[in-house]
A and B are shown apart, each in its own frame.
Chain A
Amino acid sequence: MKRPTVLLIDDEPIVGQRLKGTLEKLGCEVDVFQDPGKALDRIREKGFDIIVTDVMMPDVNGIQILEAAKAVNADAKVIIITGFATSDLARECMEKGAFDMIAKPFKPSDLRSMVVRAATEMGFTDIQER
């Protein structure tokens, strides 16, 4: 059975540390990046199924990640996590094809349920919350 590939981008190292395990437990293959520039290269190299990205990061922001991911794979599900959520940002992300968005701070379970929904929509059946 193929497992969904997840790319997690946040310049905060703790986000990656805490979420990698919990997403792997769901049955995902998780890559974590702190440098959005390198993440962008990785996306172009290898299309991911699910991309979780922060918005405000040095050099490259989450919107650029979203656009790049959608350009590489239009079916990719991009989940936006942001410390500065506004109605306008939400609409911009959705218009650019984001799958979902959540404001920081959030609980691991929030992200898990979003990832599960994304994976289910993509046809991965055995991804479920415990």
Chain B
Amino acid sequence: MWFFNSTPTHDERDDLLGRPSFNFRLQIILGFFTFFILSVVITIGAMLTISRIERKIETVSTWERFLYNIEQARRWEKNYFLYGTNLDDALESTANAQAILNENLHYLEQMSIPWPKEELMRDLALYQSSLKMLAPISLQEFNTADGRMAVEADLRRYGAQVVTEAAALAAKEHELIAKWLNIVQKVPVYFLIFLFFLMIYVARFLSLRFMQPLKQLVQHTQRIAKGDFTPVKPARKYRDEFTTVEVAINRMLRELESRQNSLIESHKLRAVGILTAGVAHELNNPLNNIMLSAHSLLEEYDELSKDEHTEMITDIIQETDRSRAIVHNLLDFTRENKSVMQPLDLSLLLNETAKLAFNQARVRGVAIQLDIEPELPAIRGDRQQLKQVFLNLVLNALDAVNKGGRIQLKARKQPNHRIIVEVEDNGCGIPPEVLPNIFDPFFTTKPVGKGTGLGLSVSHGIISNHGGRIEVASEQGRYSRFTVTLPWGATQTAATSDQRQPQEGAS
């Protein structure tokens, strides 16, 4: 058996397993994790924004309280100027404003939008001091005093400034709050839209990741069903759950291949068994020649001339060589050989095949005619396996013809880089109803015990592996013709991949 094929070749496994692992579980987990992180980011963002808005609102209310107090002070101030009352109240309100500012100074510095702290403080202080300047002066004297005008102008100016600044600040903060609220409102909508597209993308990505290897597996099984046992090669960058399936398929392929090989091997032995009759005759002839020559020498040594001695001894040597060649030819066919694709001279191969079957045909009284086009281009293939295919076809033909029958073995070049080999016999033919099944395993028309029914299916497998086709045409009672088409040259490598379409049935 050709165990070399079934011994675990670790390369293909390593090819598959050597890739970095990136399995689907991880991919799914990663996808969901991304969603989760995104949601967390959004939630935290929203929370932060809301707490900031809350604080902003506080700031705004501080400013508003400040503004209120200032405005209150201004009103008291106005009353003072109109009625000479409420100066204390104005001072109190200013102090309140000052207190609010002082209390929240740190907080405001941090939280508020940039504000003209010094100016505001200065203006407030100036305002306050202006107010304080009024206190010692009685209203009456104040009304008349010249200084009153100046103080009043200062008060008005500083007061107005503080009010304007505070109001601007409050308004600005309000504006900011509105802006942030707007953001807080809009972000979830954008997030939803983003999420929608992200989900579509992730779904597409994952399903593609699932579908692609599944599709590949389907392709592999179809290819295997056609008898192509080349191992599955890594098609994706990463290792995933399908890798285990692929490794299992490769293991199965090795198993199938070794089965196929042992099938081929056992078939070969069967063919050899059939050939023994021919070989016995073929080998006994030179042996007889040796025996006769040796005995003649022994009996008539003294009567014979020296030249005759030489002649007989030369005969013995030549016939020994001939015996060796016969044994070699058979051995060559039987030897368990590594399957090697090598350039082959098809006409030589067909001649050797015919030689193997020739004596068997002679025993059966059947003529084998060779019609091989000269200078056939070399093809790439496994010599033993191809020999077996053609031998099998010839032996089948031999079974189909009667005494005096004829088997033709033809080979010719075709356009489009193909060589056609035909094995035609003028025997009993193949009934049309069995013609389509003829390449199926275990299909046989021979009586139980005579044929295993594996010959043609094995042949079909071998030819498929060579990127070729095998077809049959037959007319019952007249002829059967098996046509093997093999690629050669440049098309051969391309053809090995287009071997998926075996053409069975009548052509």
Contacts and interface: CB of A to CB of B under 8 A. Distances in A.
Contacts of A83: 280-285, 288
Contact of A104 (B284, B300, B312, B319): B284
Interface in A76-130: 81-84, 103-109
A83 B295 CA distance: 18
B292 A19 contact: yes
B284 A22 contact: no
A26 B351 CA distance: 43
Q: Which of A58, A84, A106 has the most CB of B within 10 A?
A: A84
Contacts, number: 66
Interface stretch (A10-18, A37-45, A67-75): A10-18
Q: Which of B284, B292, B312 has the most CB of A within 10 A?
A: B292
B412 interface: no
B288 A106 contact: yes
Given A15-B289, A83-B282, A84-B363, A108 B296 contact: yes
B288 A105 contact: yes
Which applies to chain B's interface (DSSP): helix, strand, loop or mixed?
helix
Name the interface size band of chain B: 20 to 34
B255 interface: no
A14 B319 contact: yes
Interface string B250-281: 00000000000000000000000000010011
A56 B360 CA distance: 10
A95 B39 CA distance: 103
A37 to B, nearest CB: 14
A107 B297 CA distance: 12
A105 B363 contact: no
A108 B284 contact: no
A108 B277 CA distance: 24
B281 A15 contact: no
A56 B277 CA distance: 11
A15 B296 contact: no
B296 A56 contact: no
Contacts of A22: 296, 299-300
A15 B362 CA distance: 19
A105 B362 contact: no
B287 A105 contact: yes
Of A14, A57, A61, A103, the most chain B CB neighbours within 10 A belong to: A14
Interface string B351-395: 000000001001101000000000000000000000000000000
Interface of B: 277, 280-285, 287-293, 295-296, 299-300, 312, 315, 319, 359, 362-363, 365
22 contacts: A12-B288, A12-B289, A14-B289, A14-B293, A18-B292, A21-B300, A22-B299, A56-B363, A81-B288, A83-B280, A83-B282, A83-B283, A83-B284, A83-B288, A84-B280, A103-B284, A104-B285, A104-B287, A105-B287, A105-B288, A107-B291, A108-B292
When A and B form their complex, which 5 residue pairs have the shortest distance between CB atoms, in order from nearest? A83-B284, A104-B288, A105-B291, A83-B281, A105-B288
